[in-house]
Amino acid sequence: MGQVQVSRTGSTTTTTLVGEHADSLATVLGLVRSGTARTRPEIGRHSGLGRTVVTQRVNQLTACGLLEEGALGPSSGGRAPRELRFRARAGVILAAELGATSIGVGVTDLAGSVLAEHTEPADIAKGPESVLSRVEELFDELLDRVRAGTADENLAVWGVGIGLPGPVEFATGRPSAPPIMPGWDGYPVRDRLARRYDTPVWVDNEVNTMALGELRAGTARGHGDILYVKIGTGIGAGLVSGGTLHRGSQGCAGDIGHAAVSDEDEVVCRCGNTGCLEAHAGGAALARDGLAAAEEGRSPFLADVLAATGTVTAADVSRAAQSGDRASVELLTRAGRLIGNLLATLVSFYNPALVIIGGGVSGAGDLLLAAVRETVYRRSLPLATRELRITRSELSDRAGLVGAAFMALDELFAAERLARWVGNGSPAGDPALVEVPLRSPVF
């Protein structure tokens, strides 16, 4: 069986359960959290653990406030067992998705349900001090609102999850040379928020959090192998294999926006290279090409928009295409085909069951999605597309926010981390946990 380790950090003594003890603890909690098992006998049947071990683990999880007993469950002969419930309101998670042009923040319970949220325009290029200060202000406002609504002024923050619109070294929680985030390279996002809220913090690329959001609470529920593609100002992908988010060795897996799709060198991408998918098919590219169509007289619709507003956006191109504007239809179709060509390679290589298209540009009617589908089905191997489904995101703008919360929850309740604080009450304020020795999540 497992062992117990005792360590000290300053004046704090930490008890850690290790080995089989930690694994069985996480297994029992996972079964109740997911709703797979609701009674002790059901836990035993699903886990293979003995009655005594199940009872011990349930008692430990109840003592630290994660489980509670409810009504009597169904009887299979003899005394009916008590049902067990996961105490989702024992604490809260702070979650944020930072996009190129917006901030979305929220407070969720320990089951990932959003209790309060707020979204507003923002410019990520203003730098980490300005943007994160605003994120902290919004976190505090929403947390006060949730505490007031629950009449619990001491409701603890158990973790923080953040998605950023650029490459992130997951092990350190620091952005790594993000093309659209001047001043963010190497910035200690995790360390700053961990000090501010005295709780563990996890930081990842926003596309990964979007993929995780869809996997946990959206279109991809029940699927093990998916490809999430965000088409917004930039383009990126989140890969899930066997139910596990694949980040790669440095955390930059899925950065398809900077894959070469053209030999043209007239357009320089934000990363400094030419021929990148993002530079030809992303939201900024659609806006650039739409502006050119308006100025050159190829699009009366966009020319009117330019005269009225002084600019052309990707959303304007979408509206023009939906109204039948020929130049805009061509722009969206071309973008869909370029994206589809690259995805066809990934589909043949990776063989996902589901491709989810999200991001702001994905809402451009059916035209872009149709072009992506047609190209993928035509260019991929028949076996790879035989049961493949390509669909829009179910969570839409909330995918990244929800996924950021689940990122923190999955890490928080992973076996070795759960075992480090289950005997100490909660993760909040535990210096060993606030430091967060990170790794790839185990789902």
3-state secondary structure 41-72: HHHHHHHCCCHHHHHHHHHHHHHCCCEEEEEE
Asked if 361 and 314 touch (Cβ cutoff 8 Å), the reply is yes
pLDDT of residue 267: 85
CB atoms within 10 A of CB 13: 10
Rounded to whole angstroms, how far apart are CA atoms 373 and 362?
Answer: 13
Mean model confidence pLDDT for the chain = 87
| Helix, strand, coil percent content, the chain, rounded in steps of 5 | 45, 20, 35
* pLDDT higher at 186 or 233: 186
Q: What is the DSSP string of 327-343?
A: HHHHHHHHHHHHHHHHH
pLDDT of residue 396: 83
Could you tell me the two tokens for 290?
């739409």
Sequence length of the chain is 443
- pLDDT tens string 143-174: 999 999 988 888 899 999 999 998 999 989 99
Q: Taking Cα atoms as reference points, which of 386, 380, 385, 393 lies closest to residue 343?
A: 380
Window from 31-45, 363-377, 427-441 with minimum mean pLDDT: 427-441
pLDDT of residue 429: 55
Asked if 112 and 405 touch (Cβ cutoff 8 Å), the reply is yes
Asked if 434 and 241 touch (Cβ cutoff 8 Å), the reply is no
Residue 370 pLDDT exceeds 50:
yes
Residue 176 pLDDT exceeds 80:
yes
pLDDT of residue 78: 57
Report the share of the chain in percent with pLDDT over 70.
88
Asked if 59 and 24 touch (Cβ cutoff 8 Å), the reply is no
DSSP type of residue 397: G
Rounded to whole angstroms, how far apart are CA atoms 93 and 109?
Answer: 6
Could you tell me the two tokens for 167?
């490459």
- pLDDT tens string 248-262: 887 788 889 989 988
- pLDDT tens string 45-104: 999 999 999 999 999 999 888 999 877 656 555 566 789 999 999 999 999 999 988 999
Window from 111-120, 248-257, 399-408 with minimum mean pLDDT: 248-257
pLDDT of residue 9: 44
Rounded to whole angstroms, how far apart are CA atoms 324 and 358?
Answer: 23
Rounded to whole angstroms, how far apart are CA atoms 251 and 106?
Answer: 24
pLDDT of residue 79: 65
pLDDT of residue 165: 92
Q: How many helices (H) and strands (E) does the chain have?
A: 16, 16
Opening angle at CA 335, ends 258 and 104, nearest 5: 65
Rounded to whole angstroms, how far apart are CA atoms 172 and 438?
Answer: 8
Residue 186 pLDDT exceeds 60:
yes
Q: What is the mean pLDDT of residues 422-434?
A: 61
Q: Taking Cα atoms as reference points, which of 220, 243, 166 lies closest to residue 356?
A: 220
pLDDT of residue 365: 67
Rounded to whole angstroms, how far apart are CA atoms 357 and 336?
Answer: 11
Q: How far apart are the two ends of the chain, measured CA to CA in Å?
A: 23
Window from 34-48, 249-263, 285-299, 309-323 with minimum mean pLDDT: 249-263
Q: Which of 48-57, 130-139, 356-365 has the highest mean pLDDT?
A: 130-139
Could you tell me the two tokens for 144?
């006060």
pLDDT of residue 35: 87
pLDDT of residue 313: 93
pLDDT of residue 387: 92
Alpha helix stretches (DSSP H) within 238-325: 277-281, 283-295, 300-309, 314-322
- pLDDT tens string 199-244: 999 999 999 999 999 999 999 998 999 999 999 888 999 999 999 9
DSSP type of residue 127: -
